[in-house]
């Protein structure tokens, strides 16, 4: 019986401790292209995803997966110009210990710093989490259903969100397989660097610190000129103000590492319940929340530093705090 064309990729990954190896950039791109083109069986897809999951992605594999995924994003093919955005902001983790304060940081950048922000994510599949689309609606930010809507929203207010289901049904299907596996897969990793509108700046939060280096090196392989990745609260691109934050990135195609000091001398206790209405209340000045305000300012500061608006972390925090105070004027 003739071997299936996808079988060599599984063989490379699954030959045991001595015989297995990582895929090259080109192999990873070819494998993910076959998956997204529907040229694999369900058995092959499951085996491939879990073999990568156990091994963990190499920078070359991640870069190849991302290249293939970008080529399978469903963008207008009629010559319609894509929206021009400055900052790509992925949001796929959801929040369960603290509110998603990062949505206020995105709003702050769009409305007060005139940075065009594009966010993408999913409704999520865990009932104990608040995902970005729900949080965005609660503070009046647009959740779009098409690229055309994104263009109008960015032009009107500098911000737009678009769910993955409108960008790539194929990637959405594979992401939802987590319900069957009970485990994340390489799709969870690559989506943070999907950058479907080719923004020049990427903002990424991750949960596992060891993935910072992989994301940084993959960005170099892909020629991404500017990006940051850091261990964000709950895995989102949100700075935890209670701890030191190591930010890895690419600046002008050169790798950089910056350590941002803690914003408090004591740690805050996470709330027992999450009341999403507090997001808008904090923005409108109706309540005070020391932790939430610091999370917004700290996250916005990382973005300002990424976008080369600040000379160092201290300058970035000063600017972010000034923007925050200006929102009520």
Residue 260 backbone phi and psi in degrees, to 5? -95, 125
* Residue 216: how many other CB atoms lie within 10 Å: 21
CA geometry: angle at 236 spanning 232 and 238, to 5°? 55
Same domain as 66, residue 96: no
Same domain as 52, residue 136: no
Cα(250)–Cα(227) distance, integer angstroms: 5
CB 135, CB 279: distance < 8 Å: yes
Same domain as 164, residue 310: yes
**Domain-located, residue 2:** no
The domain boundary, picked from 24, 40, 71, lies at: 71
**Quick one: average pLDDT of 170-175?**
95
Cα(118)–Cα(88) distance, integer angstroms: 5
Cα(220)–Cα(202) distance, integer angstroms: 12
pLDDT band at 123 (very low <50, low <70, confident <90, very high): confident
> How many domains does the structure of the chain reveal?
2
Q: What is the pLDDT of residues 233-266, one digit of tens each?
A: 999 999 999 999 999 999 988 999 999 999 999 9
CA 205 centroid distance within chain: 6
Same domain as 236, residue 156: yes
Above 90 in pLDDT, residue 18?
Answer: no
Which helix (H) or strand (E) segment holds residue 118: the answer is strand 117-121
Least confident of 124-138, 247-261, 299-313: 124-138
Residue 262 backbone phi and psi in degrees, to 5? -60, 150
Cα(193)–Cα(213) distance, integer angstroms: 13
Q: What is the pLDDT of residues 186-228, one digit of tens each?
A: 999 999 999 999 999 999 999 999 899 999 999 999 999 999 9
pLDDT at 244 (0 to 100): 97
Q: What is the pLDDT of residues 19-46, one digit of tens each?
A: 999 999 999 999 999 999 999 999 999 9
**Domain-located, residue 79:** no
Cα(160)–Cα(181) distance, integer angstroms: 32
State the angle between helix axes of 290-306 and 313-326 in degrees (0 to 180), rounded to the nearest 10: 120
Same domain as 300, residue 158: yes
pLDDT at 81 (0 to 100): 83
pLDDT at 1 (0 to 100): 74
Least confident of 68-77, 99-108, 150-159, 199-208: 68-77
pLDDT at 329 (0 to 100): 84
> 18 burial class (0-12, 13-18, 19+ CB within 10 angstroms)?
exposed
**Domain-located, residue 150:** yes
The domain boundary, picked from 45, 71, 97, lies at: 71
**Domain-located, residue 76:** no
**Domain-located, residue 1:** no
pLDDT at 77 (0 to 100): 75
pLDDT band at 6 (very low <50, low <70, confident <90, very high): very high
**Domain-located, residue 93:** yes
The domain boundary, picked from 71, 99, 120, lies at: 71
Same domain as 160, residue 19: no
pLDDT band at 16 (very low <50, low <70, confident <90, very high): confident
For 285, the token pair is 């000045």
pLDDT at 69 (0 to 100): 98
**Domain-located, residue 140:** yes
**Domain-located, residue 152:** yes
CA 319 centroid distance within chain: 24
Same domain as 314, residue 170: yes
Same domain as 65, residue 117: no
Same domain as 33, residue 92: no
What residues make up the domain containing 152?
87-326
Residue 125 backbone phi and psi in degrees, to 5? -135, 20
pLDDT at 127 (0 to 100): 73
Same domain as 201, residue 64: no
What residue ranges in 192-251 does DSSP mark as E strands? 201-206, 226-231, 245-251
Residue percentage of the chain with pLDDT more than 90: 90
pLDDT at 42 (0 to 100): 96
Same domain as 55, residue 136: no
> 134 burial class (0-12, 13-18, 19+ CB within 10 angstroms)?
middle
Indicate which CATH number applies to the domain containing 61.
1.20.970.10
Mean pLDDT of the chain: 95
Q: What is the pLDDT of residues 134-157, one digit of tens each?
A: 999 999 999 999 999 999 999 999
Indicate which CATH number applies to the domain containing 288.
3.40.1030.10
pLDDT at 184 (0 to 100): 87
Same domain as 210, residue 127: yes
pLDDT at 160 (0 to 100): 98
């Amino acid at each position: 019986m003739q071997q299936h064309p996808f079988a060599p990729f599984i063989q490379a990954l699954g030959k045991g401790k001595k015989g297995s190896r990582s895929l090259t950039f080109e192999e990873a791109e070819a494998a993910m292209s076959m998956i997204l083109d529907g040229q694999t069986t369900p058995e092959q897809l499951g085996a491939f995803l879990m073999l990568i999951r156990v091994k963990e992605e190499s920078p070359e594999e991640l870069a190849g997966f991302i290249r293939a995924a970008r080529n399978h994003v469903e963008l207008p093919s009629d010559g319609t110009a894509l929206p021009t955005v400055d900052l790509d902001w992925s949001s796929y983790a959801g929040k369960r210990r603290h509110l998603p304060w990062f949505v206020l940081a995105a709003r702050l950048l769009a409305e007060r710093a005139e940075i065009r922000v594009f966010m993408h994510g999913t409704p999520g599949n865990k009932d104990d989490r608040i995902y970005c689309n729900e949080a965005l609606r609660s503070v009046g930010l647009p959740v779009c259903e098409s690229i055309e809507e994104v263009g109008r929203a960015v032009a009107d207010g500098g911000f737009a969100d678009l769910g993955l289901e409108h960008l790539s049904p194929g990637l959405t299907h594979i992401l939802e397989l987590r319900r069957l596996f009970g485990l994340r897969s390489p799709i969870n990793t690559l989506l943070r660097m999907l950058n479907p509108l080719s923004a020049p700046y990427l903002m990424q939060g991750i949960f596992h610190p060891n993935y910072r280096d992989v994301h940084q090196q993959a960005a170099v392989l892909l020629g991404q000129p500017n990006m940051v990745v850091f261990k964000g609260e709950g895995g989102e691109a949100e700075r935890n103000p209670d701890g030191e934050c190591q930010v890895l990135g690419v600046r002008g195609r050169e790798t950089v590492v910056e350590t941002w000091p803690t914003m408090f001398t004591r740690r805050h206790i996470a709330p027992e319940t999450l009341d999403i209405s507090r997001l808008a209340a904090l923005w409108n000045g109706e309540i005070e929340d020391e932790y939430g305000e610091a999370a917004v300012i700290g996250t916005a500061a990382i973005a300002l530093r990424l976008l080369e608006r600040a000379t160092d972390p201290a300058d970035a925090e000063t600017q972010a705090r000034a923007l925050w105070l200006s929102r009520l004027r």
